Structures are given as C-alpha cells and as structure tokens.
Amino acid sequence: MTGPALAALAPLVVIGIVVIALLLVISIRRGHGLTAVLTMAGIAVAFAALFHPGLRRPVSSEALLVFDDSARLYTGLILAGAAAVVLLSFGYFGREGARPDGARRGPREEYQPEEYYVLLLLASFGSIVLVAAVHFSSIFLGLEILSVSLYGLIAYPRDVPSAIEAGIKYLVLAAVSAAFLLFGMALVYAETGTLTLAGMTAVPGNVSDRVVWLVGVGLIVTGFGFKLALVPFHLWTPDVYQGAPAPVTAFVATVSKGAMLALLVRVFARVDVAAQEGLFVSFAVLAVASMAAGNLLALLQDNVKRMLAYSSIAHLGYLLVAFLASGGLAATAVAFYLVAYFVAMIGAFGVVAVLSGGEREAEHLDDYRGLFARRPWLAGLFTGMLLSLAGIPLTAGFVGKFFVTVAAGSAALWALLIVMMVTSGVGLFYYLRVVVAMFMQPAAVEAPEEGALPVPLTATLTLAMLAAVLLGLGVFPGPLLAVIDAAVARG
C-alpha cells in the first residue's frame, strides 16, 4: 500500500486502534470517565487526520474505498456527530436511575457503559466505510459493521424491556434489508460482471436486455429504503426511536442515516437517475410518500420521541427531492441540509436525554408542559431545534430548505416542490405544539423541581455549541457553503 493510500485510511486506522485500546483498558481497569476521554481523544485525532496535507487529491485504497473531498466532508460530519453523541452519553449513563420494578439503584454506570463507547466507535467506523465505499464488498462490510454495532447500542440497557424490544425489531428488519441489498447486488453483478460502482452503468441499451439489471437496482433501492426509513419501509422507526436510549436514538437518526444517504448519492451518481424513467419515478414516489406520511403521522403523536421519528422520515423525503434534482447545486443542497439536520436532531434528542432520568425517559408531551417555567434555557434551546427542523428563518434548517427549494426549482421538479411546501406547512403544526406546551403556564405555581437531576456539564456545553452552530449557519452560512462547494467540485 502506498503512503498516500495509507494516509487516506488514517481516520479508519485511528478509530480501529482506539477500539482495540479501549478493549485492553477496560479489561485492566473499568472507568466510565477514562473510557469517555479516550473515545473523545480518538475521535479528535481521527478528525484531525482529515486535514493531512497529502490528501489534496482523491486517494484510492485497493479499489474498495475512495477518499475524495466528498468522502472526507461526510467523514468529518460523521465524526462530529459521534463526538456530540459521546458527550451526551457520558452524562446520560452517569445519572441516577431506577430499576423497572421501581427499586432505586446507583448510577446508570451499573450498565457498565464502557463497552457502549466501543460499540459507538465501531458504528462510526462502519459509517465512514460507507461514505467512502466504491465497491459492493466494502459497502456490505461497512453496512454490517454499522448494523451489528447498532443492535447492541439500541438494546444496551439490558434490564429495560422497551430497549430489548427495540433492539430485536431493528435486528430483524436490518437483516431483511441486508438480504434485499445482497440479492440486488448479485443481480447487478450477473448483468454487468463487476462489483464496482463504476460498472453499474455497463448495461445493455435496450430495456428488454436489462431486466435483470433493473430488478437488481430495484432491490438495492428497497434496501436503501429500509436503512433510510423511507415510506413504506419505515415501520421500524418509531418503535426503535422510542425504545432506544435517547443518545442512541440521536445517533441512529443522524450518523447512521447520514452515512446511508452519502452512500446513496455515491452509488447513483454513476447512474443518470433522471434518464432512467422507472428509477426516477421510484425515488419520486418514495419522496412524496415519506414527506406526506411522515408529517401526517407525526401529527397524531403525543410521544416526543415518536414524533421526532416521523419527522426524520419527512426530512429524508426532503433530502430525496434535492437528490433527484441532480447536478452540483443539488449536491450542495444535500450536504448543507444534512448538516442542518444533524445539528437540530442531535440537539433535540440531547434535550430529551438531559431531561431523562429515574424510572423512564422524558418522552411524553406532558413531560414538557411548563418546561420554560422550570428550566428556561432548555426550553429555549429545544424551541430553536424544533424551529430549525420546521425551517423557520435565522436557523440552519431554513437555509437548508432554501437550497433544496432552489435545487428542485432549477431542475423543474415542480410537483415535488409543491408537495414539500405543503407538507412542511403541516409539519410546522406539530413542532409548534411542543413549543406551546413548553411555554404554557404550569397548572399550579411550583417551586423549582425538587430532586430534579442537574444537567451534566458535558451535555450543557454540547447543547450550547449545537445552538451556536444552529444560529451561526442560519445567519452566516457562507463559510460552510464554501467548504461544501469545494468538496462537491473536486469530489
């Protein structure tokens, strides 16, 4: 392997070394704080490795991975999202808890959260492989590393029935989606004779001669639909989001889906989706169904985590609209919207995480009634995250939706654009429903919550940073846009 190729793999090498080091450290001496510090240090080093001066040109590693500017952009986003989840998880698992039967116990460190961080790093490792994959073999390896790690993360609180149930549901449906992907890859290989993504375009010109290829691509799209929770492959999403620990839910909603979306863009960048009428219609139907069903079903929810789950389905529909627009402007819109989505969704689930404690998580709408009177800064921060998800001006979400709208308009996708605008208006209602509940006057004048769990310092700093990024990108999006444009142009 050449020096540049090895340097390109530096983020993966660093994460792999840290995973092994954590396993050795844990076997010698358990320590929640030590494990979290080592995890954050590993993520920081991996992030710094992205700026190696020798990586100014796309670097290929054994024809399985290509670390171009686009891959490095999404890798940086994945590492930043993972770092935020680590900081939120540290406070979440270090809190006082209660057993399901109501009996008190010590800190949540009884869960032995050290291995939790190992799984989190492995899931991040799999996500990075996905964003750089250019071969069906590397796609499958990255996908399985990510999925198997998520099984453990979702069901990590082993004495919480809802978490175990969510983990089993995700395991079954992830296995089904992997089967669809594998079968689709096999059919594409049978038609093209190659497992590389570049070979996907080597198909006969006549439709009658490429039935096998079309069926294979259709199965691949179905597999992506499961992983991205697009309608009608979304049924696992609300149950898994509700049952998983809040920081894990944030990871699944952002890092996991972000990696799959980056892979989707890379896979179909080599196939002119607009020229393939059947493929274009399929993606358009998935986008419309996700935008409509996601927003309408979110209206019916009193559970905040389930509401955010359906909201994430709708946002993936918006991202598909930008994806279908194609071209450089569309790629910029996808990347910027994904960044805005990461910030708002991690921030929203971060608020859920810091308010959770004791016997259950703060996931019901009643848990947020009068929150402004009790914890005004948390209520204000949660309001900002929800308004960004709704696309209100002065937030990153507004700028993201603006670029999606411009990209769709430039490609004359008027029908999709109209659906996006209408469903975004519907979405505003359920976001404001939570905001109104938080600013309602409590039924009785209450003193500050007695015995309320304090917000951990790590979570406070993380949420404050997310809020700053949210407003900063809403007011000054230029610096990030310059980075994205450069990555798209060269990647």
Label each residue of 324-359 as H, E or C: HHCCHHHHHHHHHHHHHHHHHHHHHHHHHHHHCEEC
What's the DSSP call for residue 452?
P
Count CB neighbours of 416 within 10 A: 24
Residue 140 forms part of a structural domain: no
Burial of 34 (0-12, 13-18, 19+ CB in 10 A): middle
Burial of 37 (0-12, 13-18, 19+ CB in 10 A): middle
Residue 195 forms part of a structural domain: no
Tell me the C-alpha distance between 260 and 127, whole Å: 8
Residue 51 forms part of a structural domain: no
Count of domains observed in the chain: 1
Kindly report, residue by residue over 77-107, the tens digit of the pLDDT: 999 999 999 999 988 887 644 333 333 444 4
What's the DSSP call for residue 323?
H
Residue 438: enclosing H or E segment and its boundaries?
helix 414-439
What's the DSSP call for residue 303?
B
Residue 270 forms part of a structural domain: no
Tell me the C-alpha distance between 85 and 33, whole Å: 15
Give CA separation, 296 vs 33, 287, 316, 393, in Å: 42, 14, 15, 23
Kindly report, residue by residue over 34-57, the tens digit of the pLDDT: 999 999 999 999 999 888 765 555
Domain membership of residue 491 as a residue range: 295-491
Residue 373 forms part of a structural domain: yes
Tell me the C-alpha distance between 237 and 465, whole Å: 28
The pTM for the full model equals 0.91
Would you state the torsion angle of the CA atoms of residues 293, 299, 303, 305, taken in this order, to the nearest 10 degrees? Answer: 50
Residue 368 forms part of a structural domain: yes
Kindly report, residue by residue over 11-35, the tens digit of the pLDDT: 898 999 999 999 999 998 888 889 9
For residues 98 and 160, is the Cβ–Cβ distance under 8 A?
no
Count CB neighbours of 457 within 10 A: 11
Residue 403 forms part of a structural domain: yes
Low-confidence ranges of the chain (pLDDT < 70): 1-5, 53-62, 95-111, 201-209, 272, 274-275, 357-360, 442-453, 489-491
Residue 300 forms part of a structural domain: yes
